[in-house]
Amino acid sequence: MIEKFLEGKGCLITGGASGFGRGVAYAFAERGADLVLVDINEELLNETSKNVEKETKQKVISIVCDVSEAKQVKKMTEQAFSELENIYVLFNNAGTEAAYGVDILKVGEKAWDLTMNVNLKGQWLIDKFVCRKMNRQKFEPLRGKIIHTTSIAGSVVDPLIPVYSISKIGVIALTQLVAKSLAPYITSNAIAPGFHVTGIYGNREDIMIQTMKDGNVKTPLNRIGNIQDVVNLMIFLASPRSNFITGHTFPIDGGTAEVGVPPNTLKSDI
């Protein structure tokens, strides 16, 4: 039987239309949570929200938002708390990659700005506006939980995705800073997925395998990750079992130990 430890608690998931966000939405709703799903892709967001609500019988609110825009994030936050009254778990998950295979010294400014604005600034803005309200909640022993999505590229820097790596290093630092700022009332942790089959790679395992070959990636457990691998950890971090854990980043990477770049894989300026 599924433990309903999120019953009576709201959860907000950015990047909720697909990938990890979609998988976690189902898992949280199955455990009793009402949801706010946030994404920039309105069509896919509405489809996911309707399906989750239909299958789990929980309330699901969908809000279209560009997380890199402060005004939109502030408006989204007001609507989220108005619709659900409380947000106990924030899954700060929205992200993008705009400069694959480009040398860090040749990355275009637009690609830099897009990746950094969504991956780092966006997570900071979501934390900034959501946590102000979360910190006023009356839950015990914690008022809420924040879970960021970073990447193993934030600890094992990959020259094939240079700006992405820098942004994800920033998310690890953000996770630690928020943990210290909001202790002892709110926890802040991060998940660091490795190579997983998600929408970023067209949900195609062949593309993921080729990407790993391009980057000379070796995974000791000898398989590609899947969304359920991430969901399993997210369930733990959202549960009372993780209440004494904050400021940490948890890899979900199959033990990936080496990332290198073979010759002639980096492109010129974009």
Catalytic member of 88, 164, 185, 201: 164
Q: Is 201 considered catalytic here?
A: no
Q: Are 161 and 107 in contact (CB under 8 A)?
A: no
Angle (CA) 107-124-240 rounded to 5° is: 125
Q: What are phi and psi of 180, to 5 degrees?
A: -70, -35
Contacts of 239 (CB under 8 A, 6+ apart): 3, 5
Q: How far apart are CA 62 and CA 17, in angstroms?
A: 9
Q: Are 81 and 38 in contact (CB under 8 A)?
A: no
Q: Are 249 and 188 in contact (CB under 8 A)?
A: no
What residues act catalytically?
A: 164
